[in-house]
Amino acid sequence: MNVSGKTVLLTGGTNGIGREIALQMQAKGAQVITTGRNPDRVAATRAAGFEVIEADLSSAQGVDGLIAAWGEMGRELDILINNAGQLVDHDFRNGAVDPDAADDCIYANLNAPLRLIAALTGGLKSRPHAAIVNVTSGLAISPAARTPVYCATKSALRFYTLALREQLKGTNVQVIEALPPVVDTQMNDGNPMKKMSAEECARQIIVAIEKDRDEANIGLSRALRWVESVSPSLVRKITLSF
């Protein structure tokens, strides 16, 4: 798909990977409308020339507000990128865990993409060539022990994406899964692992869109996919150590 001239709805585009996707797609001639929940980042992103819908996607109210705001814009949509996500501390080795925080993470990472896809796929089908891009994670392949809720949501979104792709086979809507490795973003502050730059991660996601690929296995996620195909038990042993 040539992204020039396409209208893109990108969730979580005011920082991290999302911000880089927005900047790079805009540079390629796409019209990017993004979302964010931090007022300062929303203001900075608007100052950079983007339309931003302020929305907290960790609740039904926030997602419904985004859907309503999109409807009021009256735009045709070519590409939906479900990028927004949350990481929650849910490690019993460090003490008690917060189930409310887990609920927010589950909603933002899984329920929000599902609800957006349900609301917007009809419009996508009306376009000559459209795409749904779900950003999961290398940890959708095999979990890390310290982030079980995050891993569970990304794995669930991965399986949803596989099934959705089968459902939309033969239509004009390409369903793409992007599986980033550990990326140098605020979410991964304090993570000692080697990190890919957000700029490079975004570049590879956009290449997958342009080349109509079903999957973008990025950086170390590509190695994880290969090891998992050979020995699932080995890849679990590796990732569970983190």
Q: Is the entire prediction scored with pTM above 0.85?
A: yes
87 falls within a domain: yes
* Domain extent at residue 92: 7-240
18 falls within a domain: yes
184 falls within a domain: yes
Of 50, 70, 107, 150, the active-site residue reads 150
Digitized pLDDT (tens) for each residue of the chain, 242 residues in all: 999 999 999 999 999 999 999 999 999 999 999 999 999 999 999 999 999 999 999 999 999 999 999 999 999 999 999 999 999 989 999 999 999 999 999 999 999 999 999 999 999 999 999 999 999 999 999 898 989 999 999 999 999 999 999 999 999 999 999 999 887 766 655 565 577 899 999 999 999 999 999 999 998 787 777 777 888 888 787 777 76
Determine phi and psi for 97, rounding to 5 degrees: -110, 160
Helix (H) or strand (E) holding 205: helix 198-210
What tokens were used for 29?
């001639």
Helix axes 148-167, 99-106, angle to 10 degrees: 20
1 falls within a domain: no
195 falls within a domain: yes
206 falls within a domain: yes
- Per-position DSSP letters for 118-170, written without gaps between them: HHHHHHHHTSSSEEEEEE--GGGTS--TT-HHHHHHHHHHHHHHHHHHHHTTT
Residue whose C-alpha is closest to residue 228's, from 220, 236, 217: 236
Cα separation, 165 vs 174, whole angstroms: 7
CATH for 90: 3.40.50.720
Task: Give the total number of structural domains in the chain.
Answer: 1
The alpha carbon of residue 120 and the mean position of all alpha carbons in its chain are separated, in whole angstroms, by 16
User: How many other C-beta atoms can be found within 10 angstroms of the C-beta atom of residue 30?
Assistant: 22
2 falls within a domain: no
Residue whose C-alpha is closest to residue 226's, from 237, 214, 216, 235: 235
Would you call 150 a catalytic residue per the annotation?
Answer: yes
Residue 53 buriedness (CB in 10 A; 0-12 / 13-18 / 19+): buried
What is the total residue count of the chain?
242
